[in-house]
Every structure is written in C-alpha cells, then in structure tokens.
Amino acid sequence: MCLKKKLQNKINNNLFKNNKFYLSDTNEILRSKDIKKRLIEFNRNKEIAKIKKKKVLSVIKNGSGLNFWSNFIISFLNNYTIIPIENGKDNFKKIIKFYDYIIIFDNENFRLIYNRNKKNNKIFEKVDYISSTSGSTGESKMILLNFDSIIMNSNHIIKKLNYQKNKNFLIAIPYYFNSAICHFFTCIINEINFVSYERLVFPKNLNEIIKKFEINYFGGAPIQVQWILDFKKIPKKLEKVVSSGDFLNFENINKYLGRYKNKFELFNIYGVTELGGRVFFNNLKKTKSPYTLGKNLNYQKKFLRKISQNIYELGIRSLYSFKGYYGKILQKNVLNKGVFFTNDLIKKDGSKLQLVGRKNEVFKSSGIKVFPELIKKEILKNHEIKNVFVYPYNFEQYGLAPVAAYESKKKIDTNKLIKKLEKKLEKIQIPKKFLWYKKLPLLKNKKINKVKIKQYKF
C-alpha cells in the first residue's frame, strides 16, 4: 500500500475519531468532527458524486486558515491533484488542460469546471501535488510532486524532531507555500493540533498568539524566529521552534546558544521543495556544530560536485524526488543520474557542511569568482547589522563588482567596516558600495525582495 493510501486510511479511522485534534486560526477552532462533516456534505453534492473516478485538479485559493486546510483535507481524501495558490493568481490555468475537471475552492465556496479538451500526459498522471511555492524573486514555481514525497519526509521529521501527539503547532507562513504544507502534513500524520496565522507583522503579535493558544511548537521564517529570540520572556509551554527558508544568521544562533538553550529546542532546517520539503536538520541545543547544515535525513543521499577550491554544489539522490517543472514547457529530465543538484554551494570541513551561497549568485569580477554568501557572513560579524544582501552591480569604472545592501538601526561608517573586511577577505570580494536600509524590503514569504534592491542606481 502506498504512503498516501495509508495516510488516507489513518485520517478516516484515527483522526476523525480524535476529538482532541483541531485546526485553528486566531478567531475560530474547527475540530476533527467538523472537518468530517464538511467532507460528507461536499461528497453529497450531486455534481461531485458524478466525478468520483475522474482526473480532477483541485485549486485551493489562499483564504481563511480554517477553510484552506479543511479544503486541503477534502481534496486529499478524494484523490484530487492539489495546487494551492495565492488569491488573485491564475498560474493554475497553465495546467488545467491535463485534467477532466477543475474544482476551484474559494473559502467555503467552490465551482466545478469541465474541460472538454483534455490532453493526456504521462507525467501528470503520476502527479498529485503541484507546489506554487514562491522563490526569492516572488515568481511562482510549478514543481510537480506526489504526496508520497511529502509524507515520507514528514514521517522522518516526526522521529528526528521527536514531535509528540496532541501538542499545539503554530505556523506563520502563507498557506500556499510548500513549507506550510510540510508542517501541515507533519501535524496531520502525528495528530498535532494545527494553528495557522499568516498575518503576523510584529513580535508582540506573535508572543500573544503563542500564549493564547498555548503553543508547544512553532514553525516559521528566520525573521519570526528572531522575534522569539528577542522576547523578554519565553512562554512556558513553548518547547520547539523550527526555522526554515533562509538559514538563521550567526548572530541569532549565538543569541539562542547564549540565552535560550535551556528554554526550548531550536532547529535550523535546510529544505528543498523538489525533495519533499526538508533535507538537513540541525538541533542547535545539542549540536557541536551550530553553523553547519547538520544531519541529512537518512533516506536522502548527498553528493558533492566541486565548483572551486573547497566549494561544492550540493546534490541529493532520493527515490521520493519531484517529477519535473512546468512553465511554458514541461521539464522532466532534470535529474543528473538520479541526483538533484540544488544550486546551493557548500564549504566542506571534514564531514561538516556549511552553506556559502547559491551557484547562480556567484559571479566573476575581473575574471575572479566572487562568493556573495561568504561576503555576507563576514559583514554580519558586525553586530549592529541585522541582515545583508550582496549582489553584483555593473559600474562604469570597475565593471562588475560586489555591492552590499544592509539593515541596521543607524548608518554604519563604511570606512571602518571596509578596514575590518580587508583583514578577512581578498580585495576583489570587498563591496565597492554599501546601501543602507533601516528595514530591508521583504516579500510575503519574509525573504529579501532582491529585485527591488537591485533597482537602486549608484
């Protein structure tokens, strides 16, 4: 029996009988019996009953948390292919031609569309989850997966992070992002109560919700983890915090180790949507190497492809990797001998691996490779600076050279900063210009809005 079928049986036989399990946002709670009631009412609809064995695409619009996640469960149990989307986006229209029917869920409402011109495609026959996760540019990716990939990943994370049943888990990530889906599946599998609230904008807001819902586990972006590390007092019930997306910076890792190591467990997660969501995890409370990737999930095998001296591109082989990308055309042969190369660069220190940037962000200045992430890490050693984005800029005088946009409460004396960097970096790696922000512009997923910063003209 496949992993998806086993989980469907578990939801029907266990979850719907567990009166303790609930979904919640900040206003309302939906218990397992209420979710089951929604499922029964949906399946009684005459139009829905007619398409039981058809190929159906379920488009779930980002609305209220309760509606989004209950619609997700309904679609999962009905064997629909699911694509979660942001409200107002229509990227799903690219793929509706591969399905007999399309159901568009919009909060408590849905509409059914019949596709009279369906096109057959073997890849889409194997796909039952399409991630519309936003990348660093804010543009949606169409990553073709199946649920076994997410379920296998979640099964391993439950064991590695030692999640316990009937605890309360909060996410503060837009629901349609893959990281939110991963946390949701982990909670469904382990019957952990799931609280979702994506409108967090201030630390005070987050602290109040953690206290109100007696949150035990929190999963969010590094900026939100930083808020927790800035709390004057950590809520007593908080046991585990999972940081995913961008990697936690040195300052916040040091802050955790110095102040909060005995208050809660903090996990730094490296994940890739194409491989089910998570690949490496590092328990900062227990590790001797807090700045490294940590341990990879043992069903995923790592491969290193040399790029420069002691710099490698990270590759992963997994039986549960994705099926391809879909944009203007279908890209299905994206694995290299079964290995997915992630575009992430790492530095090797014995068996320990440390992230040093993205392959596509490395550029040449005067014929020499410049590594933006290495520059960023040196700049962040100045404790007044909260965040940094290093990128290439084409100067008339120098040609292509590094520039650093940084965030701090007040502007830094760049001459002093350069003198410090000169002791650690080669001349070609030192930024030619520094761009100061009180707050770096962010995307909805809390990543830096790189496109907006690059628009600045020197």
Instruction: Render pLDDT for 61-82 as a digit per residue (tens, 0 to 9).
Output: 998 889 999 999 999 999 999 9
Adjacency order of strands within the sheet including 81-85: 109-114, 101-106, 56-61, 81-85, 129-131, 143-145, 324-326, 330-331
pLDDT of residue 336: 87
CA 40 to chain centre: 32
CA 397 to chain centre: 39
Phi and psi at residue 112, to the nearest 5° = -110, 130
CB 278, CB 244: distance < 8 Å: yes
Closest CA to 405 of 369, 357, 442: 442
CA gap 417, 305 in Å, rounded: 34
Q: Residue 298 carries which DSSP code?
A: T
pLDDT of residue 1: 64
CB 241, CB 230: distance < 8 Å: no
CB 197, CB 26: distance < 8 Å: yes
Fold of 3-353: Rossmann fold (3.40.50)
Going by C-beta distance under 8 Å and a sequence separation of 6 or more, which residues neighbour residue 22?
Answer: 29, 30, 31, 32, 193, 194
CA gap 5, 270 in Å, rounded: 28
- 366 φψ region: left (φ > 0), alpha (ψ -120 to 50), beta (else): left
pLDDT of residue 136: 45
Q: Using alpha carbons, list the distances in angstroms from residue 356 to 195, 225, 311, 388, 451.
A: 34, 21, 8, 14, 21
Q: Using alpha carbons, list the distances in angstroms from residue 52 to 41, 79, 101, 378, 440.
A: 15, 9, 11, 57, 49
Q: What's the pTM value of the predicted model, to 2 decimals?
A: 0.83
CB 11, CB 185: distance < 8 Å: no
CA gap 79, 102 in Å, rounded: 13
- For the chain, list residues with pLDDT below 70: 1, 133-141, 201, 445
pLDDT of residue 337: 87
Delimit the domains of the chain by residue range.
3-353, 362-454
Closest CA to 12 of 78, 65, 58: 78
Here the tokens at position 186 are: 């982990």
Q: How many residues does the chain have?
A: 458
Tell me the sheet residues that pair with 268: 243, 282
- What's 362-454's CATH class? alpha beta
Going by C-beta distance under 8 Å and a sequence separation of 6 or more, which residues neighbour residue 328?
Answer: none
CB 180, CB 154: distance < 8 Å: no
pLDDT of residue 37: 95
pLDDT of residue 315: 95
In a 3-state reduction of DSSP, which class is residue 290? Answer: coil
pLDDT of residue 141: 67
Query: What's the angle, vertex CA 246, arms to CA 242 and CA 251, rounded to 5?
Result: 80
pLDDT of residue 425: 87
